[in-house]
Structure 1
Amino acid sequence: MQTGNPHPSRTGDSRPDGLNGVDLGRYRGAGEAACRAAVAAFDLRALDRDFLDDPYPVYHLLRQHEPVRRMPDGSWFLTRYDDLQAVYRDPKRFSSDKKIEFRPKFGDTPLYRHHTTSLVFNDPPLHTRVRRLLAPAFTPRALKLLEARFVALVDRLLDRAAKQGGMDVVTDFAAALPVEIIGDMLAVPSEDRHLLRDWSLAILGALEPVLTPERAEAGNRAMQEFEAYLDRHLAHWRQRMDADGTAGADGYGDVLTGLVRGENGEALTADELVQNCIFLLNAGHETTANLIGNGIAALLDWPEERRRLTGDPGLMKTAVEEFLRFESSNQLGNRRVVESVVIGGVTLQPGSLVTLCIGAANRDPAQFPDPDRLDVGRQPNRHLAFGAGIHACAGMSLARIEGQIAIGRLLARFPDFRRAGDPVRGGRARFRGFLSYPVGF
């Protein structure tokens, strides 16, 4: 795990030295042969700490020398923006269904059951049916209700931090915020919400490229505990719905009510309901917490951009888009090839597994000028942090609102906040964020 300034060369807005303006770190000064050797040695199953701390130099080498890379296990690793777009826009030839891929990885376990039943890892018609049932949660009216709650919650957390003279941006702020919002959506009692973050981290940790026995055990244990909790919680919520029919009428638990009732005679099975409640927590918690934490960390690493944003709060919307691009919360996606297809001049055969490197695509200089520089006013900014096509994140509007409010109100209230200790990175390849980041006021 990383400690200290993750980008020590980026204490101002000067462009880092290196290949195409990229800070190549340990590759600086290396010749063509050494760079190609680094690309040839790249293996998702053997990532070192340097990569987990800062993967972007490796991403740049891959994109330049082997943008459609055949991995040692026979899968493909894509790093160019246009190639990812082509995959996202072709769900017929690139499947999101993970039953074939995950069976040897997870076996017959709770993790397998979850990750092959939830919205994100499925194709139509299940994907279409679940997404339609979730849609009411993200209408303008629903988001307006959530926004008011979110502002009040942010202010309460900042009040507490002010009394303490600082806070941990991750544990006290970024991670606490989405848990409360998703908790409201699913009507989870306040006294139970402390359980949700650890369950989420354990379940998502099992999606890392290497599933260690420890990660498998922690993920399956979290699944069993979460499923048992939801079985009890859903039974109680149905009783309330049957008793007075008002469950969710005040906006609290309205998503849960919609999922339980279904729509137009179409409803989820009991297991689909449980698994997609877990998915909602995981998707809404981890990525949003990372967005907020990564955004605040980026402003500390780029003080000129921080001063620019503080002086012009109207830039907050474009700033959040830039945080999403610059340090994408979700760095990796996956697909399985259904029909023979050519990507980036390479023919991929049916059955091939494909890793979409979102973190690399979002720093592709062919799409983003000066991609390794934080620019809070960057426009256009058609990043892929939320994916694209039919699997574009259903909750992207909510995540954007949460990021704008959390970071905006922190900057407005404490414009001179500072790093107050060593940050600790999460040490994961797929989900990029911090476990801890102390700041003082």
Structure 2
Amino acid sequence: MKITMADIYRQEHIDDPYPLYRRVREADPVYWDDKMGDDGAWMVTGYAAAQTALMDPRLSARRPHWGPDRLPADPELASAQRAIDQQIVVSDAPEHTRLRQHLTRPFLRRRVDEMREDVVRLTHHLLKAAVAGESGELDAMDRFAFALPAVSLAGVLGIPAFDERYLSWMLSLGLLIDDGPLSRTHHEKLLGGVVEYLRFFAGHVAERPGKGAAGRRQDLLQTLADHYTGGGFADAEELNGNLAFLLTAGQISTAHQIGNTLLHLLRHPDVYDRLRADPGAVPAATAEFMRYDASIQLTKRRVREPFELGGHEMGPGQEIYVWIGAAHRDPEQFADPDRLDLDRAGVRHIAFGHGAHYCLGARLGQLVHDVAVQAFVERVPAPRLRTDKIERSVMPTFRGPYKLPVGFGR
């Protein structure tokens, strides 16, 4: 039977995709899979090919399945689809350059470093509350990994820290970005969730006063509202679509990466003991954790002009799936890649992307991750997994647990 990455949606590969990645990569690190995409697509699973695909300007970040000829008939759903198609993650220069200039300020090194004390304080507050009960058990995702980046990003954006609707909206947008079987089966229902998401941001942007007015706030929404009224965004769809992407990508990717790291700490007691003895070593270990099990496993590109990759000629319009998680286990780049090794030297992961599309929030995401993991090894006594069956994201683009039951105490 011919191997296909379409099997990634089977439960066994949702639980552990790495054996499938290995089989596809061994067949060919740049593999034509006629069961993926609309009419077949290239599967890039090798590290060198993945780096090239993420860097080369002859490849576009645009997604062909979101073209104007595929818009829903309903005007609100069509507007939501256009908003998704104008997000920075699927834009090319010059639009990508313009959007990046508008969205960068809150994520600059100085601004992120100024947030450290607040992130540390919030992290320890959340963990103190989580372990204060008599049960000796906590859900490390619900009570901690999801809550921490949500509050941090809410502060950056200037929106309420907790809203029970966020997760539902993020799931709708995430599934549409993934474009897997669930997305294609429930496309319009998921777009309905994105409509609500965009209304939420439109309402908050509308509340921001204009330049020179009283009551202005020091947050990203105020900055972007100023850019919007100054002509910095093409339209409200572009502005609100990018706000939804920032919250979704920052929240889900950071929360899942915290969850993935905690899970592997608990499955590797020697690694946990090492970091428990020296929590200050966590930041240096993060690159290996992200290589070993990244929360972002997949991104896509489309061929603009004839292009050669891995010895294959690719034609204009063909789609390329760049499997980041597979590239991270390429033995040509990483010796003994299926081993979690904190002593691995020079880990150059691509979990934050590579090139022009390198993640805007990478520094903030790593800060939140590192503080969370440090606090966990410091404050949670004798943690242990309550079950081997972990409830995970059903889409390969975003990999991580939704529930992570942890027992603790002697």
The answer to whether the 8 Å contact 1:179/1:197 transfers is no
Relative to structure 1, the CA distance from residue 278 to residue 371 in structure 2 (aligned partners, 3 Å threshold; closer, same or farther) is same
Alignment partner of 2:213 out of 231, 243, 263: 243
**What is the CA–CA distance in structure 1 between the aligned matches of 2:33 and 2:399, rounded to whole Å?**
22
Cα deviation, 1:13-47, whole Å, max 9, x if unaligned, reads: xxxxxxxxxxxxxxxxxxxxxxxx4xx23142773
State the secondary structure of the residue aligned to 2:330.
Answer: coil
The answer to whether the 8 Å contact 1:157/1:172 transfers is yes
State the match for 2:223 in structure 1.
258
Alignment partner of 2:173 out of 187, 191, 203: 203
**What is the CA–CA distance in structure 2 between the aligned matches of 1:334 and 1:392, rounded to whole Å?**
14
Normalising by structure 2, what TM-score?
A: 0.90
The answer to whether the 8 Å contact 1:321/1:381 transfers is yes
State the match for 1:375 in structure 2.
341
State the secondary structure of the residue aligned to 1:262.
Answer: helix
**What is the CA–CA distance in structure 2 between the aligned matches of 1:319 and 1:44, rounded to whole Å?**
32
State the match for 1:116 in structure 2.
85
Counterpart residue identity of residue 150, structure 1: V
**What is the CA–CA distance in structure 2 between the aligned matches of 1:203 and 1:227, rounded to whole Å?**
11
User: What is the correspondence of 1:10-409 to structure 2 with a 5 Å cutoff?
Assistant: 37=1, 40-44=2-6, 47-72=9-34, 73-91=39-57, 93-98=58-63, 100-103=64-67, 107-108=71-72, 109-164=78-133, 165-190=136-161, 193-208=163-178, 209-212=180-183, 215-238=186-209, 243-244=213-214, 246-248=216-218, 254-262=219-227, 267-268=232-233, 269-409=235-375
Once structures 1 and 2 are overlaid, which stretch shifts more, 327-336 or 423-432? Answer: 423-432
State the secondary structure of the residue aligned to 1:271.
Answer: helix
Cα deviation, 1:219-242, whole Å, max 9, x if unaligned, reads: 212211112222221111236x65
Cα deviation, 1:384-430, whole Å, max 9, x if unaligned, reads: 11110000111111111011000101101125211124421222222
State the secondary structure of the residue aligned to 1:244.
Answer: coil
Normalising by structure 1, what TM-score?
A: 0.84
Counterpart residue identity of residue 94, structure 2: P
Counterpart residue identity of residue 160, structure 2: P
State the match for 2:75 in structure 1.
none
**What is the CA–CA distance in structure 2 between the aligned matches of 1:147 and 1:194, rounded to whole Å?**
26
**What is the CA–CA distance in structure 2 between the aligned matches of 1:367 and 1:105, rounded to whole Å?**
41
State the match for 1:11 in structure 2.
none
Relative to structure 1, the CA distance from residue 67 to residue 140 in structure 2 (aligned partners, 3 Å threshold; closer, same or farther) is closer
The answer to whether the 8 Å contact 2:5/2:20 transfers is no
The answer to whether the 8 Å contact 2:183/2:190 transfers is no
Q: Which runs of 5+ in 1 are unaligned?
A: 1-36, 249-253
Q: Once the 2 structures are TM-superposed, how far is the Cα of residue 256 of structure 1 from its aligned partner? A: 1.6
**What is the CA–CA distance in structure 2 between the aligned matches of 1:368 and 1:104, rounded to whole Å?**
41
Relative to structure 1, the CA distance from residue 246 to residue 207 in structure 2 (aligned partners, 3 Å threshold; closer, same or farther) is closer
State the secondary structure of the residue aligned to 1:383.
Answer: coil
Relative to structure 1, the CA distance from residue 415 to residue 362 in structure 2 (aligned partners, 3 Å threshold; closer, same or farther) is farther
The answer to whether the 8 Å contact 2:30/2:44 transfers is yes
Matched, 1:425 2:395: no
Counterpart residue identity of residue 48, structure 1: R
Count of residue pairs brought into register by the alignment: 394
Counterpart residue identity of residue 210, structure 1: P
**What is the CA–CA distance in structure 2 between the aligned matches of 1:212 and 1:271, rounded to whole Å?**
21
**What is the CA–CA distance in structure 1 between the aligned matches of 2:268 and 2:99, rounded to whole Å?**
40
The answer to whether the 8 Å contact 1:322/1:376 transfers is yes
State the secondary structure of the residue aligned to 2:299.
Answer: strand
Q: Once the 2 structures are TM-superposed, how far is the Cα of residue 351 of structure 1 from its aligned partner? A: 1.0
Q: Once the 2 structures are TM-superposed, how far is the Cα of residue 266 of structure 1 from its aligned partner? A: 5.5
**What is the CA–CA distance in structure 1 between the aligned matches of 2:224 and 2:338, rounded to whole Å?**
41
State the secondary structure of the residue aligned to 2:92.
Answer: coil
Relative to structure 1, the CA distance from residue 79 to residue 397 in structure 2 (aligned partners, 3 Å threshold; closer, same or farther) is same
Q: Once the 2 structures are TM-superposed, how far is the Cα of residue 197 of structure 1 from its aligned partner? A: 2.0
**What is the CA–CA distance in structure 2 between the aligned matches of 1:106 and 1:303, rounded to whole Å?**
50
**What is the CA–CA distance in structure 2 between the aligned matches of 1:106 and 1:145, rounded to whole Å?**
44
Counterpart residue identity of residue 243, structure 1: A
State the match for 1:439 in structure 2.
406
State the secondary structure of the residue aligned to 2:43.
Answer: strand
**What is the CA–CA distance in structure 1 between the aligned matches of 2:8 and 2:260, rounded to whole Å?**
25
State the match for 1:251 in structure 2.
none
Q: Once the 2 structures are TM-superposed, how far is the Cα of residue 123 of structure 1 from its aligned partner? A: 0.3
Alignment partner of 2:378 out of 407, 412, 416: 412
**What is the CA–CA distance in structure 2 between the aligned matches of 1:105 and 1:301, rounded to whole Å?**
48
The answer to whether the 8 Å contact 2:30/2:45 transfers is yes
Q: Once the 2 structures are TM-superposed, how far is the Cα of residue 281 of structure 1 from its aligned partner? A: 0.4
Q: Which runs of 5+ in 2 are unaligned?
A: 73-77
Once structures 1 and 2 are overlaid, which stretch shifts more, 348-357 or 178-187? Answer: 178-187
The answer to whether the 8 Å contact 1:80/1:364 transfers is yes
The answer to whether the 8 Å contact 2:102/2:227 transfers is yes
Q: Once the 2 structures are TM-superposed, how far is the Cα of residue 111 of structure 1 from its aligned partner? A: 4.6
State the secondary structure of the residue aligned to 2:208.
Answer: helix
State the secondary structure of the residue aligned to 1:403.
Answer: helix
State the secondary structure of the residue aligned to 2:274.
Answer: helix
**What is the CA–CA distance in structure 2 between the aligned matches of 1:217 and 1:77, rounded to whole Å?**
27
Once structures 1 and 2 are overlaid, which stretch shifts more, 333-342 or 406-415? Answer: 406-415
